[in-house]
Amino acid sequence: MNVVSFSPRTASADVALLWVTRLAAEPGNPTLDEARLPATDQQELQRWLAQDAANADAYRDARRLWQLTGPAATQLAQQEDAALQALLRRAQARPARRRLLPVAMAATVLLAGMLALAWQPERWLDDLQADYHTAPGQLRTLSLADGSEVQLDGDSAIDVALTAQGRAVHLRRGAAYFHVSHNGQPFVVHADGGEVRVLGTHFEVRRQANGSQVTVEEGKVAVQAARDVTPVLLTAAQRVDYGQDHAGALQTVNPQQAFSWRQGQLSFRRQPLADALAVVQRYYPGRIVLLGSELGKRQVSGDFASNDPQAVLDAFQGVLGYTQQRLPGGNLIIR
């Protein structure tokens, strides 16, 4: 099957990346061996290379790009392919004897640095099913029917259920700040298998890579990491992380810094780079991939405008001296 048939207007670089993607999609082909392709595809590739010297140059550069981003490519391909398969299962799609080529290629293109790198099908599924959601870099304030207010951070999604029995919010991803009205009914936020229960207060719930985080600005909340776990009580200027059926130690925070994102600011105080990048990711339009666990542990500090995430990344680079590898589609490898 000829998988590359393009308009003359298609840029050589884009076609080259698709050919590299096609090679990488072949099982067990980390060296991008062209001999692994079917004979018809090999002939098509050679014809395209012979058409223009620019094609050969772009193909060479695309192969070099793949080698530079190979570790990140493998990691992201696994993540995106798993998400795609979960989406297909939820949609009760017919099982296939072989994974669809467009699916495999989309995941691989993502890693090679094309637009699929920012596709993130799990986000699509969340947005389709959520009552409210935001895109990366977008803040949104909601007024609920009970008089409560919710402010969503960038790249966040929630479900809301207001009934005679109580008020419940499911935080699907991202972060939400709550100003809960006191009407005598319980208000519960569910995230990562735990729940945050309040009557009237100002607080934030934020989902993270390994669990969730709750920060209180005013009032009191009870955080229960799992059904059979004793709740942890938080008051103003306190924070707790929880996940895997247990909660961490209480932390004291500066509310002005903790909630600076609500005023368009990002504030970091001796924060590991990996955690800081997770925050910046909510404002960056592409995917940020960090290579190297030791680099991720190095700490950063500073106050930045959230509407310029690239400036934040450049500032971190100036302090830590890491390399930023920019890929087509606005995506970024940090190593």
Residue 114: per-residue pLDDT: 40
Residue 156: per-residue pLDDT: 95
Antiparallel, parallel or unpaired: β 194-198 and 166-173: unpaired
Residue 178: per-residue pLDDT: 98
Antiparallel, parallel or unpaired: β 157-163 and 140-143: unpaired
Strand partners, 317: none
Query: pTM value?
Result: 0.66
Residue 202: per-residue pLDDT: 96
| Contact criterion met (CB below 8 Å) for 288 and 335 | no
Residue 80: per-residue pLDDT: 53
Residue 144: per-residue pLDDT: 96
Query: pLDDT, tens digit, for every residue of 18-67?
Result: 788 778 777 777 788 999 888 888 998 998 899 988 889 888 888 877 77
Residue 9: per-residue pLDDT: 34
Low-confidence ranges of the chain (pLDDT < 70): 1-11, 68-122, 124-125, 328-329
Query: pLDDT, tens digit, for every residue of 190-205?
Result: 999 999 999 779 999 9
Domain extents for the chain?
12-124, 131-255, 264-334
| Contact criterion met (CB below 8 Å) for 23 and 16 | no
CATH number for the domain formed by residue range(s) 264-334: 3.55.50.30
CATH number 2.60.120.1440 given to 131-255: yes
Please enumerate in sequence order all residues whose Cβ is within 8 A of that of 316, keeping only pairs 6 or more positions apart, or say none: 273, 276, 277, 300, 322
Q: Whole-angstrom Cα distance, residue 258 to residue 10?
A: 46
Residue 72: per-residue pLDDT: 60
